[in-house]
Each structure stands twice: as C-alpha cells, then as structure tokens.
Chains A and B, each alone.
Chain A
Amino acid sequence: MFARASLIAAGLAIGLGAFMSTPAEAHRRWLLPSMTVFAGDEATASVDAAVSNQLFVFEHHALALDNLAITGPDGQTVQPTIIGSGKYRSAFDVPLKKQGTYRIALTSEGLMGFYELNGQRQRWRGTREEISKIPAGATNVQINESISRTETFVSLGTPNDTALKPIGHGVEMIPVTHPTDLAAGEPAVMRFLFDGQPAAGLEIEFVEGGTRYRDNDGAQKLTTDAKGEVTLNVKDAGMYYLETTKSVDGKEGQPGRRASYTGVLEFLPS
C-alpha cells in the first residue's frame, strides 16, 4: 500500500498538467433558467442544461441530468419534472410551490486516471475507496479527483437564504448579494468557498450571455480577495455566466483534486 501511494504521488507530479487540459474543458457548462424571478402562489421555472462554447446557444452537447439537486426555500429537496434530453440540450421544469429561493445544481464527482501494468496503459475510473483495488504491480499511477458544480438560482415571491447555505464540498459560490435580486448598474458580491473555506486568489471568468452576437466575448477576469469575494459589475441586464476552477496537487499519496464551479445569474434592469 505504501509503495502504491508513493507511485500515485510521483505520477501526479509528472502527469497533472496533461490530465487537466482535456479538450472538453474549453466548453462551458450551464443551467439556464427561463427566468429567475417569479410571482404568485406557484409557478414553474423551466431550465435548459447544456455544454457549449457560445452562451447560451445549444451547439455542443446536452448536459446529463443524473445528479440534479434542487433545494427549495425550506431546505428540502424539490423533485423536477424531467422533460428530456436531445442532442444539444436537456430540459426540465422546477415546480415552485413555496415562497422563497431555489438552488438548482448539477453536481458530479469522481476519480479517474491511468496506470501502467505490464507495459500496458490502463484507464481507470472509480471512487476514493476503489483506489486500493488498483493491481499491486501498477506503475506510473496517475489518479485525480474531479468535483464539479453547475448552478443557477430562482425565487418565487420574496427571496430567502435557506437554500444558499454552504454544503462545504468542492468549490461553491455563496451569494452575498442575493442571486435573484441582481440589477444592472448595481454591484453584486459573491463569495467563493473551497471545501467550505473562503477561497482567496481564485480566478473567476464572468461573461455576459449572447456571445454569438459579439466579436469579443468580453469576459471579465476577476480574482477573489482574502475573503474569497469578487464584485460583479454589469452594464447591461441579461443572463450571465461565471466559471472558476481550483486545483490542488496530490500529497502523501492522495490523488490531486480539481474542483470547478459554473453558475448562471440573471441581472435585470434596475
């Protein structure tokens, strides 16, 4: 076991860079709600889930809805109505029956990588516990854990904060300015956490939707301060996308970790 752990560490030092830059990472993953502000006793938010280059155009592939987690205003899980998945997008409805804010998230996590056995390169995918099942003779073991969270927020009536509580795992965005009370021309503050702790120095890419209609995507590159916070400033109302990634090198035989977060926020005219 000790020997294998060392091999993982050695493999990570060499192979991390190569592992991180898979082509899929150039794309943007998003959950796009029909609207973020709803009124009345009940309403329905319709959400599209896709991976694309252009925001918010269905042009690459649908996002699978296997790990959809919707938290209602009372902290309880809300069951969506899955409409289905086409080539370019998945779609689902979220019934809003309680007043307050809903956090809609797609999460994924898992470990994957490679090792060599008898001169053959083997692909590996599994859980943290399953690492011990890698054959004892494996060499050049390169395993990384990846955690991703793709989110958006909607409110029925008066927004509340119950669904916004940190989960404490991977990268999360904890809105300081309420995520369904955003207006163009008003600065919005968002705090980023990594495993529940403020993530300082995190690079955030912040992009307005409708990139297809602009020559330059106009992405704002922001960096979180000591409290893990960034301030979002937008001139025009619209749907906005933000993305960040935190990587931690593997130490003492532990796999490296790569946690990513993408979110969609709506800024309305003030």
Chain B
Amino acid sequence: MRKTIAFLATGLIATPAVAGEMTVNVEIPRLRVAEYHKPYVAVWVENEAGQAVANLKVWYDVDMRNAEGTKWLPDMRTWWRRTGRTLKMPVNGVSGPTQGPGRYALKFRDGVRPLGKLAPGAYKLRIEAAREVGGRETLAIPFQWPPRGTQTGSAQGQSELGAVSLILKP
C-alpha cells in the first residue's frame, strides 16, 4: 500500500516513463429517416502498414437472440477486413450495445486493455459506423505515440458520424 502511494507521488513530479491516455469523443448524429436503427460502430488503432493493432470499441446488437447481431458486423467493411472477421464476438471490454444519437467519451490507457502497449510510432485512430437500412462512414485521425504533451486531433463525419476527436495526454 505504501509502495503504491510512493509510486503515485513520484509520478506526479517526474515525467513517467510509461504513460499515455487516450480519449476518443464520438458523436452519433440524429438522423431524420423513415426507419432508424442505431449504428454499429467500431473504433480501432491502425499502424502505418494499415494493420489493426488495437480494437478499442465495437458497438453492435449484443443482446439479440442466437447472437443474430453479429450478422451485420461485416457492414463495417474496413474494420471487418482489418480485424473484425478474426474476432470471436463478444470481446470482453471491447464490445458493447449500440448507442443512440449523442456524444460519447471513451477513455483508454496505455498498457491497459483494450489499448494495451503501443510501440512508439505513427498510428491512425479509425472509426467506422454502419447503419441497418442506412449508410456507412469511416473516419481517421492520425497521431504519434507516445504523446509529448496534450495533443488533439479531430475529424468531421458527413453522414453516419458527427464530430470525432482524439485527445492524447502523456
């Protein structure tokens, strides 16, 4: 117990060797359509080669009978090809139920699942949304890891996604 406190105390003063916090703000826009279904949304991190290195969030119909909700996961086409099709859903700490229109703040920490340990380098945060009887949109925010100071990046969706931002803190 004392050790923990000591560690935290030094951490506040010195620059920690291992750190990094990522906040992803996702806006799901309200759409005026005849038949509305909440979108499936995937958030992941890609390296420079375009390989998925961390699955951060997958919102889909987790509660449907006989796992019927997984049927539409390939509609998030980019995510599906990069990583989705190799996963056995649900994935603990990653998958969650679909969300309605609104703003969502997702926090991830370095070294902690699902972000895990990212090697220093250039990455892209990818967000993809696909809606039943609707469209699909993907956004990307490039970033460097680990962050030097607080950094922000943003992207603006046009159809299935609204404003998306990434805030990195050491």
Contacts and interface: CB of A to CB of B under 8 A. Distances in A.
Contacts of A181: 81
Interface stretch (A33-41, A52-60, A213-221): A33-41
B71 A40 contact: yes
A183 B74 CA distance: 13
B73 A39 contact: yes
A39 B71 contact: yes
Interface of B: 67-68, 70-74, 77-78, 80-81, 84-86, 136
A80 interface: no
Contact of B80 (A37, A40, A41, A43): A37
A268 B85 contact: no
Interface string A139-160: 0000000000000000101110
A41 B67 contact: yes
Contacts of A21: none
Given A183-B81, A270-B77, A40 B67 contact: yes
Q: For the complex, would chain B's binding face be called helix, strand, loop or mixed by DSSP majority?
A: helix
A158 B81 CA distance: 9
A266 to B, nearest CB: 11
Interface in A158-194: 158-159, 181, 183
A144 B77 CA distance: 46
Contacts of B71: 38-40, 43
Contacts of A155: 85
A38 B74 CA distance: 7
B81 A39 contact: no
Q: For the complex, would chain A's binding face be called helix, strand, loop or mixed by DSSP majority?
A: loop
Interface residues of A, number: 15
B154 to A, nearest CB: 23
Contacts of B84: 39
A241 to B, nearest CB: 22
A37 B74 CA distance: 7
Interface of A: 37-41, 43, 155, 157-159, 181, 183, 268-270
Given A40-B70, A158-B86, A269 B136 contact: yes
Contact of B77 (A158, A159, A268): A268
A270 B80 CA distance: 11
Contacts of A40: 67-68, 70-71, 73
A232 to B, nearest CB: 17
A39 B85 contact: yes
Nearest to A155: B85
Contacts of A269: 77, 136
A185 to B, nearest CB: 12
Contacts of A157: 85-86
Contacts of A39: 70-74, 80, 84-85
